[in-house]
A and B are shown apart, each in its own frame.
Chain A
Amino acid sequence: ELKVEQNPLFLSMQEGKNYTIYCNYSTTSDRLYWYRQDPGKSLESLFVLLSNGAVKQEGRLMASLDTKARLSTLHITAAVHDLSATYFCAGGSQGGNKLVFGAGTILRVKS
C-alpha cells in the first residue's frame, strides 16, 4: 500500500531565501504530483513528474523526482510572499488512477 510523507509540515521562510520540501513515498509509484492550495480554496496542479530524473520548473518553484530513492523535492528559490500556501505531493498507485496524498506543507513567507 502506497504511503506518502512530506516534511516539513510547516515552514516559515524569510523573503529571498531558498528552501526545499521533501516528499517520500513507501512503494513503487509510477507518477508524482505537486499541488498548491490557498486558504479556503481548491487545489491547483503545479507539476506532474512521470519518470526517474524528471525535473520541472515554473517560476521560483522546481520539482524533481528520484524513483530509486522514492523521493521527490519541491525547491523554492528566492521566496516571495505570494508563494505562501499549502503544498501537497501525491503519488499515483501503480496500474491505477488513484492518488495518495501527503499531509501537506504549510508555507509562510515573511517579509
Chain B
Amino acid sequence: NAGVTQTPKFQVLKTGQSMTLQCAQDMNHNSMYWYRQDPGMGLRLIYYSASEGTTDKGEVPNGYNVSRLNKREFSLRLESAAPSQTSVYFCASSEVKDKQYFGPGTRLTVT
C-alpha cells in the first residue's frame, strides 16, 4: 500500500517550458487535491477533484490545468512555466470530509 505517490521528485524548468506533475493514490479515495507550498504561506489549494470526472479551481489556479484521468490519478500541468511557479507541489487524497493524505512532494524550480 503505497498511499499517495508523486513524480517527479525534483524538476528544473526554464521559463516558458511546460511539464506535467503526476499523482496517483491507491486508497480508493474519491477526492484528490493539488497544493503548492511557499515559505511562510502554508499550503494553498490550486485545484481539486471531488470525484472522478469533476475538477474545480482552488485559491491559486492561474497558470495551471488539471486532469482527473481516473479514480486513481490526478495530474497537474504547467503550460508555460514562470519563475513565480517555483514551489513545492503536494498532491493529496481523501474521502469526503476526512483527513487528507499527502504525497512526498515535487520540488520545482523555474529559472
Contact = CB atoms under 8 A, between A and B. Distances in A.
Nearest to A44: B102
A99 B35 CA distance: 10
A100 B31 CA distance: 16
Q: Is the interface of A mostly helix, strand, loop or mixed?
A: strand
B61 interface: no
Given A99-B45, A103-B41, A45 B100 contact: yes
Contact of A97 (B40, B41, B43, B97): B97
Interface in B45-71: 45, 48, 50, 58-59
B103 A97 contact: no
Q: Is the interface of B mostly helix, strand, loop or mixed?
A: loop
Nearest to A48: B99
B45 to A, nearest CB: 6
B104 A97 contact: no
A90 B48 CA distance: 16
A97 B42 contact: no
Given A88-B42, A103-B42, A97 B99 contact: no
A43 B58 contact: no
B90 interface: yes
A97 B102 contact: no
Contacts of B96: 97
A43 B97 contact: no
A43 B96 CA distance: 19
6 contacts: A41-B105, A45-B101, A90-B43, A96-B50, A97-B96, A100-B59
Interface of A: 4, 9, 30-31, 33, 41-45, 48, 88, 90, 92, 96-104
